[in-house]
Amino acid sequence: MLTQLALLVSLLTIILREAICLKVGVAKVDATLPVGVPLAGYGERRVPDWPLAKETKYTTWMLPSTGHLTPTWVKALVIDTGDEQICFVTVDAIGSDGTLAELAYDIATSKGFRIPFDNVAMFGSHSHSGPGAITPEFLWAVVPATDLLVPELQEMFATSIANAMLQAQENLQDGTMGIDIAQLKGVTRNRRAGVSPYLHEDDIDPNLGVISVNDGDGKPLATVWNYAIHGTCWGSSQLLSNGDIMGGVNDVLETMNSGVAMFINADAGDISPGGDTCSGEPNFQGAPVIAKAVMDARNNTKMSDNVEIRVATQVVPFGETNLNLTFARVENCTSGGPVDICSICKVLNCDVNLHLNEAWVEQNPKFGAFAFNIDGTNTGMVTIPGEALSDLGTEIRNDLLNMKFDNVLLGGYSNNHMGYFATEREYDVGGYESLLTFWGVDTAERIRTNCTLVAKKVAP
Ligand SMILES: *[C@@H]1O[C@H](CO)[C@@H](O)[C@H](O)[C@H]1NC(C)=O
Ligand SMILES: *[C@@H]1O[C@H](CO)[C@@H](O)[C@H](O)[C@H]1NC(C)=O
Ligand SMILES: *[C@@H]1O[C@H](CO)[C@@H](O)[C@H](O)[C@H]1NC(C)=O
Ligand SMILES: *[C@@H]1O[C@H](CO)[C@@H](O)[C@H](O)[C@H]1NC(C)=O
């Protein structure tokens, strides 16, 4: 009887083992928009003689792009454990916009995409030379960082996103995956050093998370790298669309047998490329350095098909902004950034507290949490709907580590874009990132607690 039971148990184990069958699919779609679209990112790219001149049918007050340096890529990764299906979408764009994500999702589902919206996360790389005019929020349009929405361009871009999602789903095949977290220093710097008395150039987030995906024969299908870095290697005078440093790293990775290389930004609100990272344009010196660190981490990753995924999402209403433009906070404002808040403030005499509604800026962000249990090692990932400063990123990471996740990935610039998230300390210091923190002094704390709440739902 006992031996029969033992036999039954081992048979069941074999059957269950067989049932664990990881499927993975990846796709890469060229989503380059026509020459003449505005490039989202820098406020200086405005037409000098506006409103007298309107340069192309795609621009209102921003300068049109004059060509393409590299394609604008949209890439999608679908992971199916049998119990749960998720889809990560990366776009070479300044951010991720909720309206765009929903439009893309609707197009995809109308053509047979089956994964629930809650299990899809869209990440903007934060390239400052990606397409503008594809999002409706008036604040970004007017500052000007993205220019006015052109529905035709939005539809084109959403269709490319939908196609990437659909192709990744069609490409599903047996595979393996693994996650490794490495450390990378020397390629970024904290840009608030000098503005904030608390921050030094070396106060960066060194965590380099790498999700590796192979096909059933062990061939690399995709490499997702997660790191905090601003896409500002190219300046505002550059009018060719391109993926900036993160796109450059992806291109190098794909020559190194990474499979499709995808980038998810992290807590890069105050983290710029540093050292020699941007030298040697258009082939940035930092690109092969970062790519090598990613591939080293990939080589270090144990691959498995024993994967369990849990997903939780929560849409949280933030309400109207508390955009405090009190002049005290503008004192050390770095003039000439993408949004020239200093100049705007001088005009407004800056003693106002603007309560802007969702026509101006998104305020119902979707927080997503993804837990990966790979051979018993637990990785937690939360999405952050905008630009977390690195000290907020550290707090969120520690919250997740305290929930017994072994590894943490921070999915910044994801799903929605609500501006910067400066912690209370940095909010009080003032400066550019503080001024663009729209819900008052506790904005970052609200982001943090909501990230933590959603992560708890999938904690080990
Ligand atoms: C990764 O490993 C492969 C062989 O397994 C090797 O060819 C390649 O050079 C390694 N890459 C890095 C960046 O270490
Ligand atoms: C989540 O964010 C909302 C909107 O700001 C806030 O009202 C709420 O208190 C936050 N949740 C927690 C637990 O802090
Ligand atoms: C705006 O910021 C100033 C300076 O930090 C502060 O004294 C004031 O209380 C803030 N006002 C609001 C409404 O938050
Ligand atoms: C601006 O910078 C000066 C000099 O570094 C400093 O004394 C002052 O406190 C700063 N003001 C704000 C609002 O941060």
Q: How confident is the model at residue 308 (pLDDT cuts 50, 70, 90)?
A: very high
Q: Are 416 and 385 in contact (CB under 8 A)?
A: yes
Residue with more model confidence, 308 or 348:
308
Assess whether pLDDT exceeds 70 at residue 298. yes
| E strand map for 246-332 | 260-265, 271-273, 307-315, 323-324
Contacts of residue 139, Cβ cutoff 8 Å, sequence gap at least 6:
356, 360, 361
- pLDDT at position 347: 72
Ligand 1 near 303 CB (within 6 A):
no
User: What residue owns the CA closest to ligand 2's atom 9?
Assistant: 446
Please provide the DSSP assignment of 32-74 as one string.
Answer: PPPTTPBEES-TT-B-TTTTT---STT-SSBPBP-EESS--EE
Please provide the DSSP assignment of 138-182 as one string.
Answer: HHHHHTTSS-S--HHHHHHHHHHHHHHHHHHHHT-EEEEEEEEEE
For 190-215, what is the mean pLDDT? 97
**Distance (Å) from CA 216 to ligand 1 centroid:** 19
- pLDDT at position 412: 98
Q: How confident is the model at residue 353 (pLDDT cuts 50, 70, 90)?
A: confident
Ligand 1 near 398 CB (within 6 A):
no
Q: How confident is the model at residue 368 (pLDDT cuts 50, 70, 90)?
A: very high
Q: How confident is the model at residue 7 (pLDDT cuts 50, 70, 90)?
A: low
Residue with more model confidence, 99 or 340:
99
**Which residue in 266, 263, 268, 269 sits closest to 287, CA to CA?**
263
Upper half-sphere CA count for residue 4 (Cβ side, 13 Å): 1
Contacts of residue 335, Cβ cutoff 8 Å, sequence gap at least 6:
342, 343
Six token digits for residue 160: 């490319």
Q: How confident is the model at residue 2 (pLDDT cuts 50, 70, 90)?
A: low
Six token digits for residue 364: 């119902």
Whole-structure pTM over 0.85, yes or no?
yes
- pLDDT at position 3: 66
Closest ligand by atom to 331 CA: 4
Q: Ligand 3 pocket: which of 320, 322, 323, 324 to mutate (most atoms <8 Å of CB)?
A: 324
**Distance (Å) from CA 26 to ligand 1 centroid:** 22
Ligand 1 near 456 CB (within 6 A):
no
For 299-322, what is the mean pLDDT? 97
Q: Are 37 and 62 in contact (CB under 8 A)?
A: no
